[in-house]
Amino acid sequence: MFRAISLVALTLMLAGSPVLAKQKAQENVVIADTAEKFAVLVDKIRSQMATGQRYEFLSASDRKKVNQSLDRMSALLDASGSVEAMTKDNRALLFNEQEKANGILARNADDRLICTRVAPTGSHRPVTDCKTYRETEEIRKNSRTQLNEMTRYRGNPGPQN
């Protein structure tokens, strides 16, 4: 009986993990309302694209796309002052630029949760393993460093007796 209840509780807990990951990934980063508020937001986003910050893993091309979208949104808001004062065409352009920037930033945020189903060594029963993107990149980087060190030492076996 206890085993059955534990299994049900574990199943419910694991089933909720992907839902939470999806909710966190759907976060909208860029929300434009007025030109003044947006200027503060742009500064914050650009500072978070620096090394060691939330969006440090953006590729050069994605970084360029985000900056272009932010510049276009700034130009649209500067021209009209606020979203309410914009024409419908400009609102549509603003919305499209927001979605483009949000999509790129949400996809590359280092705190987004990535869950995988993996069977541990010696087991046939897969478990859900959730890590943030930053943790995954650190593990990948450390593994690459260890592999490079191992291959470097294998090429030079050390002193011969």
pTM: 0.56
For the chain, 161 residues long, give each residue's pLDDT as a single digit of tens.
444 443 434 444 444 444 444 444 445 566 667 888 888 889 998 998 888 888 888 888 989 999 999 999 999 999 988 888 888 888 888 888 888 888 888 877 777 777 888 888 999 898 888 888 788 889 999 999 999 988 887 765 555 55
Question: Helix axis angle, 60-80 relative to 88-108, nearest 10°?
Answer: 150
Percentages helix, strand, coil for the chain (3-state, rounded to 5) are: 65, 10, 25
Domain boundaries, the chain: 15-155
Q: Across the chain, which distance is largest between two alpha carbons, in Å?
A: 83
Contact predicate 101/66, CB 8 Å: yes
pLDDT for the residue numbered 104: 85
Angstrom distance (rounded) from CA 3 to CA 156: 54
* Predicted local distance difference test score (pLDDT) of residue 134: 80
Burial class of residue 34, CB neighbours in 10 A (0-12, 13-18, 19+): middle
